[in-house]
């Protein structure tokens, strides 16, 4: 759309006969819609007020999947309208290069057609990495794509991989009442996050009954008729009704016939690009998950806009940095900027200001009292250096601080939160509380 608005003639190609990409069909949208539905059930079951209405109630995985499908359908319809309104031509078929400026589309009916373009953007995304020794065709063995075909609530599930996907699905199945074992090949959950926030997540998942095992690697995953057995290098054997692999993703480059344009993907199927999304082959660009980090829909949107800005020469181009993280576990996590670990290693004299959700009126009213907002700021200049939030609506709350942190010069100061009046009672008020808490430490 950014390209057509800048005067380019644009065609979009996708294998799937519906727009939206994996983000809409198998990634962000279904997982967030599932998570929201499950969170609502948890709130209903937890809140004593609803016991006047009825006893606790549970929804099945199939029921929450139905609500997710409705959101997916809305997204598809909305995106299809955007393409039509902006006169972006859509082609459905699997694309591969045949010449530097020619792409062949293999169509669902077995026919093929060739598209020619001055510039080409590879935005083929990613898919779950599948170790060859695991039989993903087994009806009880899933990855983050196929978990969306599960049609009952398992009594127990083992999730292997405690990255973002593993932690989010652990929250979803735990919220549905399934017994969840979360197997982490690493040392801690979400190791790239602030330690205190990662500890808070472990504490809350464990408190809700999730069994977390760190530093474990799989030896085998064996599927039987009515169960799956996971064997770990430590000798442990874990039996479950359903097994979900949530460890890593691979860029979708294997079908692109990259040899035809002398491009090469790395071992994870990803393409290397420079700041302007140029691949090294003139006129071929890449953006989104296929270029690897940060592999977020939020970043992919901006990268897509930017790459069309580069091509059209007069469209929007922005170097994308300071990307926030929003992780939709229950409770939610969000962060932007530096962690304490990074600031300590860089010998930056920082201070910490904290506000616990339980001490805010808004959280007491909503009952969402688990959580903390943590501000890291320079003790001399008071500039905000990092924001880390754990708790309900963390992904929204974060953006208030991000707006201040992105100001230039003296505009970026923790004092903003003391010099402006905040609506009361709001979760935004946590910024005022955290700023006071932090500035009180300065002497
Ligand atoms: C379970 C899960 C949850 C997530 N949650 C979040 C979240 O909460 N927030 C967030 O920011 N990000 C999240 N992500 C990441 C986010 O979904 C991705 O970063 C985003 O989808 C990347 O967009 P993309 O356009 O690069 O590629 P994709 O969304 O992967 O789309 C690529 C498209 O290219 C098509 N394609 C591939 N090969 C070809 C070919 N040869 N010819 C034609 N078409 C082809 C595919 O069919 C697909 O439609 C999540 C991901 C997963 C898996
Ligand atoms: N809320 C969100 O922002 C959100 C939610 C879900 C997923 N995502 C995105 O989806 C991606 C996938 O997440 P994940 O949970 O699978 O964890 P991950 O990408 O962190 O990977 C987990 C582990 O698998 C390894 N690995 C990754 N790709 C591999 C490959 N191709 N081959 C072998 N090993 C590989 C990694 O080194 C890591 O140790 C992340 O990049 C994340 O940004 C984001």
Q: Are strands 112-116 and 102-106 parallel, antiparallel or unpaired?
A: antiparallel
**Whole-angstrom Cα distance, residue 67 to residue 48?**
25
Ramachandran angles phi, psi of 374, nearest 5°: -125, 120
User: What CATH superfamily is the domain 331-439?
Assistant: FAD/NAD-linked reductase, C-terminal dimerisation domain (3.30.390.30)
Instruction: Say if ligand 2 is within 6 A of residue 265 CB.
Output: no
- How big is the CA angle at 186 (ends 183 and 191), to the nearest 5 degrees? 115
Separation of CA 303 and ligand 1 centre (Å): 13
Only one residue has tokens 């994308």, namely 320
- Domain 2-128+250-312 sits in CATH at 3.50.50.60
CATH of 141-247, one of 2.60.40.290, 3.40.50.1980, 3.40.50.80, 3.50.50.60: 3.50.50.60
**Whole-angstrom Cα distance, residue 125 to residue 171?**
25
Instruction: Name which residue sits closest to atom 44 of ligand 1, judged by CA.
Output: 14
Q: Is 301 exposed, middle or buried (0-12, 13-18, 19+ CB in 10 A)?
A: middle
Q: Which residues pair with 102 in a beta bridge?
A: 99, 116
Q: Which atom of ligand 1 is least distant from the CA of 249?
A: 53
What Rg do the C-alpha atoms of the chain give, in angstroms? 24
- The tokens describing 412, both together, are 């970026």
Asked if residue 166 belongs to a known ligand binding site, the reply is yes
User: Is this model's pTM higher than 0.80 or not?
Assistant: yes
Q: Which residues pair with 170 in a beta bridge?
A: none
**Residue of 303, 291, 382, 34 whose CA lies nearest to 174:** 34
Instruction: Say if ligand 2 is within 6 A of residue 191 CB.
Output: no
Ranges in the chain annotated CATH 3.30.390.30: 331-439
Separation of CA 247 and ligand 2 centre (Å): 6
Only one residue has tokens 């510039």, namely 119
Whether cis (ω within 30° of 0) applies to the bond prior to 372 is no
Ranges in the chain annotated CATH 3.50.50.60: 2-128+250-312, 141-247
User: What is the SS3 string spanning 330-378?
Assistant: CCCEEEEECCHHHHHHCCCCEEEEEEEHHHCHHHHHHCCCCEEEEEEEE
Four-point Cα dihedral 360, 34, 301, 322, nearest 10: 40
Separation of CA 297 and ligand 1 centre (Å): 7
Q: Over its length of 443 residues, how does the chain's per-residue pLDDT go in tens digits?
A: 999 999 999 999 999 999 999 999 999 999 999 999 999 999 999 999 999 999 999 999 999 999 999 999 999 999 999 999 999 999 999 999 999 999 999 999 999 999 999 999 999 999 999 999 999 999 999 999 999 999 999 999 999 999 999 999 999 999 999 999 999 999 999 999 999 999 999 999 999 999 999 999 999 999 999 999 999 999 999 999 999 999 999 999 999 999 999 999 999 999 999 999 999 999 999 999 999 999 999 999 999 999 999 999 776 677 787 899 999 999 999 999 999 999 999 999 999 999 999 999 999 999 999 999 999 999 999 999 999 999 999 999 999 999 999 999 999 999 999 999 999 999 999 999 999 999 999 99
């Amino acid at each position: 759309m950014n390209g057509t608005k800048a005067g380019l003639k644009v065609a979009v190609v996708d294998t799937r006969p519906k727009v939206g990409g994996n983000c809409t069909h198998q990634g962000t949208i279904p997982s967030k819609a599932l998570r929201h539905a499950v969170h609502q059930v948890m709130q209903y079951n937890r809140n004593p007020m609803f016991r006047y209405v009825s006893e606790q109630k549970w929804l099945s995985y199939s029921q929450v999947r139905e609500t997710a499908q409705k959101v997916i359908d809305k997204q598809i319809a909305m995106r299809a309208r955007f393409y039509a309104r902006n006169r972006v031509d859509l082609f459905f078929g699997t694309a591969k290069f045949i010449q530097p400026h020619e792409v062949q589309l293999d169509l669902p009916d077995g026919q093929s057609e060739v598209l020619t373009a001055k510039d080409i953007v590879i935005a083929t995304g990613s898919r779950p990495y599948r170790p060859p020794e695991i039989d993903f065709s087994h009806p009880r063995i899933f990855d983050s794509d196929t978990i969306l075909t599960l049609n009952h609530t398992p009594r127990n599930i083992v999730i292997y991989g405690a990255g973002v996907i593993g932690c989010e699905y652990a929250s979803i199945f735990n919220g549905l009442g399934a017994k969840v074992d979360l197997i982490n090949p690493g040392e801690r959950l979400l190791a790239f996050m602030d330690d205190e926030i990662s500890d808070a997540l472990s504490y809350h998942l464990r408190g809700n009954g999730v069994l977390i095992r760190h530093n474990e690697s799989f030896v085998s995953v064996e599927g039987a008729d009515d169960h799956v057995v996971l064997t770990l290098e430590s000798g442990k054997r874990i039996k479950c009704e359903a097994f979900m692999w949530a460890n890593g993703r691979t860029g979708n480059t294997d079908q692109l016939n990259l040899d035809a344009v002398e491009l090469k993907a790395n071992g994870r199927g990803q393409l290397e690009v420079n700041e302007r999304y140029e691949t090294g082959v003139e006129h071929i660009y890449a953006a989104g998950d296929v270029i690897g980090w940060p592999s977020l829909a939020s970043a992919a949107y901006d990268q897509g806009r930017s790459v069309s800005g580069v091509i059209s020469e007069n469209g929007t181009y922005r170097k994308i940095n300071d990307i926030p993280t929003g992780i939709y576990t229950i409770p939610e996590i969000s962060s932007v900027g530096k962690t304490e670990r990074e600031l300590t290693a860089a010998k930056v004299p920082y201070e910490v200001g904290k506000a616990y959700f339980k001490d805010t009126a808004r959280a007491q009213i909503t009952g969402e009292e688990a959580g903390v907002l943590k501000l890291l700021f320079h003790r001399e200049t008071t500039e905000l250096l990092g924001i880390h939030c754990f708790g309900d609506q963390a992904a929204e709350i974060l953006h208030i601080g991000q707006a201040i942190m992105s100001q230039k010069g003296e505009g970026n100061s923790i004092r903003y939160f003391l010099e402006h009046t905040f609506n009361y009672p709001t979760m935004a008020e946590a910024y005022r509380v955290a700023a006071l808490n932090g500035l009180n430490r300065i002497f």
